[in-house]
C-alpha cells in the first residue's frame, strides 16, 4: 500500500477515535473536497484579516490551529478554556494580582484586559469593568443551568473566559467581566509580549519584513509541517512548482506528466531566520541524494529542488550545495538537488485546501529531527 494511503487510514482511525478532537468535533469535519459556506468563510477570513481598533489581527483562527494551540494546556485548564468550565471562587492565581500590566488570552495571546480596568468585586473571581478593545471579547447568550447569563469568549480563538454581568454600578461602565484566571496570562508592564500578543504593525507578520523561499523535498505534507515549526517562519504552503501546466491538480501532478514538483512556499522573517539557515534545515528535512524519489515515494514530483527567488538566493544556494558536497556527510553520495531561478521554474500554484496543514489537521505530526 502506498504511504499516503496508510497515513490517511491512520488519520481516519484517529479521527474516528476522537483523540483530542475537540476542535474537529466542533467543526464536525467537512469533507476536504467540498467548498461548504463554512470553508469559504474560513478562506475569506484568511485572505482579508480582521484588524481591531488597537491594531490586532482578530481573524478567527481555524479549528485546526486552535487544536494545535490547545496542546499546551493542562487538563484542568483545557476543561475551563475549551469546555466552558468554571474555576472555584477565590482559587484563581490572578484574583489578588495588583501589578500593572496586561492580561492576554491563555490560548492565543490576544490582549484582553488591562490592570487599569481591574477592580475588586468581592465575588472571588478576577473582575474587569471593560476589555482593552471591545472587539477582542465576544459575548454570547448562555442559558445553561437554568440561568440567563452572557458568556464571554476570546474573539480570535473562542477560548471561554467567563461571564459578564451588569451588576457593578461602582465602576465607570457598570459592567463586571468575571474571569477565570486559567483563561488568562498576565504580562507585567515592561516585560516582553509574545509575538501573537503584538499589534499587526509591529508584529513579525508585517508583509514589509518578509521574504519568500521555495523548497521541494518529497511529499509536501511533511516538508510543510517541519518548516512551519521553525521560529521565524510565518507561513508554509504546500503547492506545485517547476512544471508546465498552469493550475495543476494533485491528480495531474501525481501522474507525473505535468513536470511539477511538490513544493513548499515559505514566507519568513529574515531578521529571525536567514535563507542559509533555511537551506540547512531543508537538507535536514529530506535526503538530497535521492534522484526523483524521497523514501517510499517515487516520481519526478518527489524530486529535490530549490527554486531561488532572486540572484542572492541563487548564489547562496549554489554555495551551500557546493559546501555540503565537500563534507563527510555527502562524501560518497552525490547531491542531486535541482537548483533553478523562479523565473525559469515558473509560477507556484498552491495545492488543494485539503493538502494544507495536513498533519496539523489529521495527525501524524512530523517532529523536527534532532540537531
CB of 225 to Zn ion, least distance (A): 23
| First-last CA distance in the chain | 32
- Say whether residue 159 binds Zn ion (CB under 5 A): yes
Residue located via cell numbers 510543510: 224
CB of 158 to Zn ion, least distance (A): 7
* Contact present, 32 and 71 (Cβ < 8 Å): no
Q: Is 91 known to be catalytic?
A: no
Q: Count of CB atoms within 10 A of residue 239's CB?
A: 24
Total of residues contacting Zn ion (CB under 5 A): 8
**Crossing angle for the helix pair 275-285 and 311-325, to the nearest 10 degrees:** 50
Question: How many CA within 13 A on the CB side of residue 365?
Answer: 10
According to DSSP, the residues that pair with 31 across neighbouring strands are: none
Q: Count of CB atoms within 10 A of residue 139's CB?
A: 14
CB-wise, 108 or 317, nearer to Zn ion?
108
- Say whether residue 179 binds Zn ion (CB under 5 A): no
- Say whether residue 182 binds Zn ion (CB under 5 A): no
Binder of Zn ion out of 157, 178, 278, 279 (CB under 5 A) = 157
CB of 109 to Zn ion, least distance (A): 7
Catalytic residue among 154, 219, 254, 366: 219
Q: Count of CB atoms within 10 A of residue 53's CB?
A: 10
CB-wise, 159 or 219, nearer to Zn ion?
159
* Contact present, 119 and 173 (Cβ < 8 Å): no
What span, in angstroms and rounded, lies between the C-alpha atoms of 365 and 240?
21
For 75-140, the DSSP string reads HHHHHHHTT---PPTT--TTTT---SEEEEETTT--EEEEGGGEE--SSSS-EESS-SSGGGEEEE
Residue range at the interface with Zn ion (CB under 5 A); choices 142-150, 157-165, 297-305, 341-349: 157-165
CB of 328 to Zn ion, least distance (A): 48
Spatial neighbors of 156 by CB under 8 A, at least 6 apart, are: 56, 57, 58, 59, 60, 61, 105, 108, 110, 136
- Say whether residue 7 binds Zn ion (CB under 5 A): no
CB-wise, 7 or 152, nearer to Zn ion?
152
- Say whether residue 317 binds Zn ion (CB under 5 A): no
CB-wise, 203 or 211, nearer to Zn ion?
203
Catalytic residue among 91, 178, 254, 366: 178
Site for Zn ion in 91-150 (CB under 5 A): 105, 107-108, 110
- Say whether residue 154 binds Zn ion (CB under 5 A): yes
Spatial neighbors of 281 by CB under 8 A, at least 6 apart, are: 226, 227, 230
CB of 156 to Zn ion, least distance (A): 5
- Say whether residue 278 binds Zn ion (CB under 5 A): no
- Say whether residue 184 binds Zn ion (CB under 5 A): no
Q: Is 154 known to be catalytic?
A: no
Closest CA to 313 of 222, 178, 211: 211
CB-wise, 104 or 233, nearer to Zn ion?
104
What span, in angstroms and rounded, lies between the C-alpha atoms of 164 and 167?
9
Give burial (CB, 10 Å; 0-12/13-18/19+) of 237: buried
CB of 231 to Zn ion, least distance (A): 20
- Edge to edge, what strands does the sheet with 111-114 contain? 111-114, 101-105, 184-188
- Say whether residue 152 binds Zn ion (CB under 5 A): no
CB-wise, 65 or 272, nearer to Zn ion?
65
- Say whether residue 168 binds Zn ion (CB under 5 A): no
CB of 194 to Zn ion, least distance (A): 12
- Say whether residue 197 binds Zn ion (CB under 5 A): no
- Say whether residue 155 binds Zn ion (CB under 5 A): no
Tell me which residues touch Zn ion (CB under 5 A): 105, 107-108, 110, 154, 156-157, 159
Residue numbers annotated as active site: 178, 219
Amino acid at each position: 500500500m502506498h504511504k499516503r494511503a496508510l497515513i490517511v487510514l491512520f488519520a481516519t482511525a484517529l479521527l474516528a477515535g476522537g483523540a483530542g478532537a475537540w476542535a474537529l468535533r466542533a467543526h464536525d469535519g467537512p469533507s476536504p473536497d467540498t467548498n461548504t459556506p463554512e470553508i469559504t468563510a474560513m478562506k475569506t477570513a484568511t485572505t482579508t484579516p480582521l484588524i481591531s481598533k488597537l491594531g490586532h489581527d482578530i481573524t478567527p483562527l481555524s479549528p485546526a490551529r486552535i487544536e494545535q494551540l490547545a496542546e499546551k494546556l493542562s487538563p484542568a485548564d483545557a476543561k475551563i478554556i475549551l469546555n466552558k468550565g468554571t474555576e472555584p471562587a477565590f482559587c484563581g492565581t490572578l484574583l489578588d494580582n495588583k501589578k500593572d500590566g496586561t492580561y492576554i488570552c491563555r490560548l492565543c495571546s490576544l490582549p484582553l484586559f488591562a490592570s487599569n480596568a481591574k477592580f475588586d468585586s468581592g465575588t472571588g473571581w478576577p473582575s474587569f469593568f471593560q476589555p482593552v478593545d471591545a472587539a477582542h471579547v465576544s459575548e454570547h447568550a448562555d442559558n445553561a443551568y437554568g440561568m440567563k447569563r452572557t458568556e464571554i469568549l476570546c474573539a480570535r480563538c473562542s477560548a471561554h473566559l467567563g461571564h459578564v454581568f451588569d451588576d457593578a454600578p461602582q465602576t465607570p461602565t457598570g459592567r463586571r467581566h468575571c474571569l477565570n484566571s486559567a483563561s488568562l496570562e498576565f504580562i507585567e508592564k515592561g516585560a516582553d509580549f509574545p509575538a501573537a500578543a503584538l499589534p499587526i504593525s509591529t508584529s513579525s507578520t508585517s508583509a514589509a519584513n518578509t521574504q519568500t523561499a521555495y523548497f521541494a523535498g518529497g511529499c509536501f505534507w511533511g516538508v510543510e509541517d517541519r518548516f512551519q515549526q521553525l521560529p521565524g517562519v510565518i507561513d508554509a504552503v504546500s503547492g506545485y512548482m517547476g512544471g508546465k501546466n498552469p493550475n495543476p491538480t494533485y491528480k495531474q501532478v501525481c501522474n507525473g506528466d505535468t513536470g511539477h514538483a511538490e513544493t513548499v512556499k515559505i514566507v519568513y522573517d529574515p531578521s529571525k531566520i536567514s535563507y542559509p539557515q533555511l537551506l540547512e534545515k531543508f537538507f535536514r528535512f529530506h535526503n538530497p541524494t535521492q534522484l526523483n524519489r524521497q523514501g517510499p515515494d517515487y516520481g519526478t514530483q518527489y524530486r529535490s529542488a530549490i527554486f531561488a527567488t532572486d540572484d542572492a538566493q541563487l548564489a547562496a544556494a549554489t554555495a551551500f550545495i557546493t559546501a555540503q558536497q565537500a563534507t563527510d556527510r555527502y562524501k560518497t553520495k552525490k547531491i542531486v538537488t535541482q537548483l533553478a531561478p523562479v523565473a525559469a521554474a515558473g509560477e507556484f500554484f498552491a495545492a488543494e485546501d485539503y493538502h494544507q496543514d495536513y498533519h496539523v489537521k489529521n495527525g501524524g505530526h512530523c517532529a523536527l529531527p534532532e540537531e
